Amino acid sequence: MITDTRERTDGRRGRLVVIGAGGQVGRLLAAGPAAVAMGRDDIDIGDAGRVERALVDLTSDDIVVNCAAHTAVDAAETDVEAARLGNEIGPANLARATARAGARLIHLSTDYVFPSSRDDGDPAPLEPDDLDPEAQPASVYGSTKLAGERAVAEIDPRATVVRTAWVYTGALGGTDFVATMRRLEAERDTVSVVDDQIGSPTYAVDLAAGLLALADRPDLTGTTLHATNAGSCSWFDLARAVFVGVGADPERVTPTTTAAFPRPAPRPAYSVLSGRSWAAAGLPPLRDWRAGLTAALAADGVTGPGV
């Protein structure tokens, strides 16, 4: 059951109910005024009964932001049921709860809903309607996330789906890509990173701010939006930028290919999500990925020359 009585200090009515409050983005959202943090111990989204009980007092004034997901991309290839529970069945359960209460649902999704590459070879950023709606993602993770998007839209037509990509906090001790590069810089002389996967690195702090701006817009319902930091790069480019940002020699990062490091789940070769739909909705754009990375490294007191 939701049990938060703090008063709002912003313009929104009701509560911001954050599902997946233990994750990178959820933790940031849950720190705000009148936010209700719901982690794994509070709600199991894959269990319809537990969702119903946890959200029994949800009202039409509330906004539910679903940051919970099964994000073990490679493990999903063999543990399909776990991926379905977290990425398809769970969001559907939440959509039933918000539809029943008349609450708003903002559901986070991913660039992995798109195929590994574009058949037409077009390098233009991807918008929600760029690909055939029946096109299938290349991985179980992507397929279950796409199924979750569709289930949410069908069950609660007022829900908003927000696709994002390459999310990180970069915090020391973390497991995201930026945090991993910081750790490897201290442990190894050189690091090999793939240079044939292109995307938009997204600082979790910037994404959380964007989601809060979306929550302040009750008119933006029943749509799919893309929210990433602006610009694009390869994982190799991002790794070099991290090294520069911590004052290390970027030449210690060497390029390699995806083929040289085979993984169970295919990764999108190009998944740069356009911010066109986000801007058209009148939402503030997320800053350039380089500025986001500089802010992330500064948050931990890194004093290198920047990126």
Catalytic positions, written as ranges? 141
SS3 160: strand
DSSP per position, 262-305: --SSPPPSB--B-SHHHHHTTPPPPPBHHHHHHHHHHHTT--S-
Residues 6+ apart with CB under 8 A from 87: 69, 70, 141, 144, 145, 147, 148
Backbone angles phi, psi at 40, to 5 degrees: -60, -35
| DSSP classification of residue 42 | T
What does the chain come to in residues? Answer: 307
Exposed, middle or buried by CB within 10 Å (0-12, 13-18, 19+), for 137? buried
User: Which has the closest alpha carbon to 65: 97, 95, 24, 108?
Assistant: 108
Chain centroid, CA 125 distance in Å: 17
